[in-house]
Amino acid sequence: MSISVYVPCDSSALSLGADRIAAAISLEAQQRGIAINLIRNGSRGLYWLEPLVEVVTDAGRIAYGPVQVTDVSALFDADFLHGGDHHLALGSIEELDFFKKQQRLTFARIGKTDPISLDDYLANDGYRGLSNALKQSQTDIVKAVTDSGLRGRGGAAFPTGIKWNTVLNTPSEQKYIICNADEGDSGTFSDRMVMEGDPFVLIEGMTIAGIAVGANQGYIYLRVEYPHAHIALNAAIEKAYAAGYLGDDIQGSGKAFHLEVRLGAGAYVCGEETSLMESLEGKRGLVRFKPPLPAISGLFGQPTVVNNVISLASVPIILDKGGDYYRDFGMGRSRGTLPLQLAGNIKHPGLFEFAFGLTLRELLYDFGGGSATGRPIKAVQVGGPLGAYLPESQFDTPLDYEAFAANWTVLGHGGVVVFDDTADMASLARYNMEFCATESCGKCTPCRIGSTRGIEVMDEIINGQEISKNIPLLRDLCNTLLNGSLCALGGMTPYPVLSALNHFPEDFGVTDTNNAA
Amino acid sequence: MTESKSIQETVQDVISTLKEKPGALLPILHGIQDALGYIPADSVPAIAQGLHLSRAEVHGVISFYHYFRETPPGKQTIHICRAESCQAMGGKQLEQHAKDQLGIDYHETTPDGQFSLEPVYCLGNCACSPAIQIGNDIYGRVSLQSFDAIINEKKEQA
C-alpha cells in the first residue's frame, strides 16, 4: 500500500518552496521505487515550521519541518516514510503545545485534510451543520446563530444573528448573501487560510445563511491578491454543485442556493461593506451613506447579509453542535473563538485559534516566543492598518472586544503585527497616513484631503520642523478624521497615528511630555 | 494593424461572454486584463457600448482600482508588499534594494521590457514577511540576496 505524504498547498507554504519540495519528494520516491500518495493539505498554521511535511505512519501522522529541498534525500535515508528519526522530526503536530493548547473550532480541519476533497470534508464532520439546518425553520437557524453570541469577525464585531434576523424579516423576492473576502488588513491571513485550506466550510456557512434568510444567491468578494484562494474556491464550488450541495435543490430539500466568486481589484476600501457592494455592482468602490442598512437595502437595492469569511466559516460548527456549545467559549460579550494571526517581527508567526480572553502577552511570549530578531518588542499593532499600536504597558490586555475598546485599541480581525525596538513609530505613523491617502475612496473630505495633509504634517515632524506647532496640528487633523469621516478608513487612521504619538512621543521629536498629551 | 484587430476581437469576446452577468463591469475588466495584460484605452468605447454605460463611467472604474492598468506591463510584474508586517521584517530595505537593482521606481517598467514594479498592500503572507509576488508565484522571508536569486531565475525563464 502506498504511503500518504502531506505537503501543504497553502500560499505561505508555497512562498517558502512547498511546490519544489513536493516535486522533490515525488521524484525521490520514484527513483527509489517507493509508492507514495502525495496529498496537498492546508497549513497547520505554525508557519515557522513551514514547509511542513507530514507522513501517515502506524503511529499516526508524523511531521518534519521546516523542510528544504536539500533535506529531501536525507529524509528518505532516515526512513521518514515510516516516521524515522531525523533532526527535522517534530512528532505529531497535534501533540505540540503550540497546537494542543489551541481551541480549534473554525480551523478544526485546516491543515489536516485535502482542501478540495469533498470526501475528506464529509469524513471530518463536514456538512453536518447544513444537514441540521435543513431540518429546522428559518427562525430557528437564526436563533442558533444569535444564541451562539457570534459577532462579525471582520472587525466591527456586530452580532451576526441580529444582522441575519433583519434580512429574514425584510420581505423581498430577491435577497443576497455576500462573503467579504477582501482581507486587506496587514497582519491578517485567517480568511486566506480558510479559503485555501477548507473552502467547503465557507461554502457550507454561506449555504446555511442563504437558507436561514431566504437568499438564493451568494457572492464571495475575493481580493485579487489571493490567486490560490481563488483556485481553491472555484474547485470546491464546482464539486459542491456536482454533489448537490449548491444549486436549485440542495440535498433534495427543494431549496436553492447559488454561489459565485467575484474578484476585487486592489482597492482596500472595498473591504468596507457598502463600498464592496458598489464594486460588485460594477462601479467605483465609493462608500455609501448608511442608512439604509445593507440588511434592508444592500446589493442591487435588495436585503443583503454581508459577513466576513471567519464569521461564515464559524456557522457550520454552530449549527452542528448548537449555539450553546459555541457560546461556552470566550469571555464577557466576546463569545466563541478568535483565530489570531501573529505576524511581523516574531519568532513563531502563525495562526492561533483561541477562545477570547488570552492576554496579548501570553500570545506574544508563550506562543510567539518573543521577537524574531531577539530584540525587545517595542510595539504591537493589533487589528490591521486602522488599529492602534500597543506599547509594552498594554500587553496584559485580554484579547476581548470590550477590553480592547476600553484601551482605545482595536481587536478587529485578530491580526497582530510585532515590531522590535528598531521600529521608528513616527515613520510608521507617516505610513498610516500615506496608506489612508492611497486607499481613500475620495467621497468624504476628511479622509480624502485630511490624509494628504497628514502626510505633509508628518514629514515636517520627521524633519524636526516646528514640532510645537505641528504636534497640535496633527492632533487637530486626527480629530477631524476621527469625527468627520464617512467610514472606518478615515475614521480609524487616527488610531495608529495617535497611539504612536501618545506612547512613543520621543520618536516624534517631542521632548516635553506635556506636549504630547 | 493585425495586432490591433486581434486586441479588439479579444475585447469583444470578453464583453459578449460576460455582459449578461449582474454587475458585469469588473469581471469584464478582469477578463480583458487577464488576456492582454492591461486595458487598452481604445477598448473603453466597446465596453461602454456593451454595458450601456458612458465612456466616462468605464474610465472612472478603471482608474479607481489600483490593479487595473491602462499601459502594457513588462513581461513580469513584481509586486512588493509595503504593509506593516513586512516593514517590521526589513520590507523598506527590500523595496529600496528592488528599485536599485531594477533601476526603476514603482509603476515603472525596465527599459528592456522585462519587469514592472508595483507596490501591494498585503499579500496575506504576513507570517513569512517580507513578501513579494510575481504573477501567481508568492515568495516569503525574502532577503536582499534571495530577491536577486529570484530575479535571476525569472530572467533565465524569459
Supply the pLDDT for residue A198.
98
A262 to B27: CB separation less than 8 angstroms, yes or no: yes
Chain centroid to CA A458: 30
Share of chain A above pLDDT 70, in %: 99
Q: Half-sphere exposure of B152 toward its Cβ, with a 13 Å CA cutoff?
A: 6
Which pLDDT band, with edges at 50, 70 and 90, does A1 fall under?
A: confident
Same domain? A313 vs A438: no
pLDDT at A515 over 60: no
Q: What is the ipTM, given to two decimal places?
A: 0.96
Contacts of B61 in chain A (CB under 8 A): 282-284
pLDDT at A35 over 80: yes
**Residue A10 resides in a domain:** yes
d(CA A242, CA A220): 19
Which pLDDT band, with edges at 50, 70 and 90, does A274 fall under?
A: very high
d(CA A262, CA A246): 17
Mean pLDDT within A49-74:
97
A189 to B68: CB separation less than 8 angstroms, yes or no: no
What CATH number corresponds to the domain at position A220? 3.40.50.11540
Distance from CA of A43 to the nearest CA of B (A): 12
pLDDT at A253 over 50: yes
**Residue A104 resides in a domain:** no
Phi then psi for A416, rounded to 5 degrees?
-130, 115
Question: What rounded mean pLDDT belongs to chain A?
Answer: 97
pLDDT at B1 over 60: no
Whether B126 contacts chain A with CB within 8 A: yes
Whether B56 contacts chain A with CB within 8 A: no
Domain of residue A243, residue span: 118-327
A267: closest chain B residue by CA: B65
What domain count does chain B have?
A: 2
Same domain? B88 vs B128: yes
pLDDT at B158 over 90: no
Domain of residue B27, residue span: 2-64
Whether B98 contacts chain A with CB within 8 A: no
Which pLDDT band, with edges at 50, 70 and 90, does B156 fall under?
A: confident
d(CA B40, CA B49): 15
Phi then psi for B34, rounded to 5 degrees?
-60, -40
A183 to B22: CB separation less than 8 angstroms, yes or no: no
For B69-122, write each residue's pLDDT tens digit.
Answer: 999 999 999 999 999 999 999 999 999 999 999 999 999 999 999 999 999 999
User: Pairing state of beta strands A330-331 and A377-382?
Assistant: unpaired
Supply the pLDDT for residue A517.
44
Q: Give the residue from B36, B64, B92 where a domain finishes.
A: B64
Mean pLDDT within B13-42:
97
Distance from CA of A71 to the nearest CA of B (A): 19
d(CA A266, CA A182): 9
Same domain? A472 vs A413: no
pLDDT at B5 over 90: no
* Residue labelled with grid coordinates 489551541: A102
Mean pLDDT within A119-125:
98
Contacts of B25 in chain A (CB under 8 A): 282-283
Same domain? B42 vs B103: no
What domain count does chain A have?
A: 4
- Least confident residue range of A104-118, A143-157, B4-18, B54-68: B4-18
**Residue A101 resides in a domain:** no
Whether B38 contacts chain A with CB within 8 A: no
